[in-house]
Chains A and B, each alone.
Chain A
Amino acid sequence: MKWIGALLLISTTTWAGLEWSKKLDKRPKHIRQLINALQILEAEILYSQLPLKDAFKLMARQLPAPVCSFFNRLAMQLSKIDAELEVAWEDSVKELMLISSLGENDKEILLQFGRTLGQHDFTQQQKQIHLTITHLERELEDARDNQFKYSKMVKTLGFLAGLFIIILLF
Chain B
Amino acid sequence: MITDASILFQIAGIGIIVALIHTILKQMGKEEIAQFATLVGFIIVLVMVINGLSDLFQQIKSVFLFQG
Are A and B a genuine interacting pair, yes or no?
Answer: yes
Q: Which single member of B10, B24, B44 contacts A153 (CB below 8 Å)?
A: B24
Taking the complex as formed, is A149 at the interface, i.e. its CB lies under 8 A from any CB of chain B?
Answer: yes
Q: Do A170 and B25 touch across chains, with their CB atoms under 8 A apart?
A: no
A150 beta carbon closer than 8 Å to chain B: yes
Min Cβ gap B34→A in Å is 11
Assembled-state Cα–Cα distance A157/B28 (Å) = 12
Chain B interface mostly helix, strand, loop or mixed? helix
Query: A43 vs B51: C-alpha distance in the bound complex, in angstroms?
Result: 71
Q: Are B24 and A167 in contact (CB under 8 A)?
A: no
Q: How far is the CB of B40 from chain A (nearest CB, A)?
A: 10
Chain A contact-residue range equals 10 to 19
Residues of chain A touching chain B, judged by Cβ–Cβ distance below 8 Å, are 149-150, 153, 156-157, 160-161, 163-164, 167-168, 170
What is the interface of chain B, defined by CB distance below 8 A to chain A? 6, 10, 13-14, 17-18, 20-21, 24-25, 27-29, 44
Contact sample, A vs B, 20 pairs, CB 8 Å cutoff: A149-B28, A149-B29, A153-B24, A153-B27, A156-B24, A157-B21, A157-B25, A160-B17, A160-B20, A160-B21, A163-B17, A164-B14, A164-B18, A167-B10, A167-B13, A167-B17, A168-B10, A168-B44, A170-B6, A170-B10
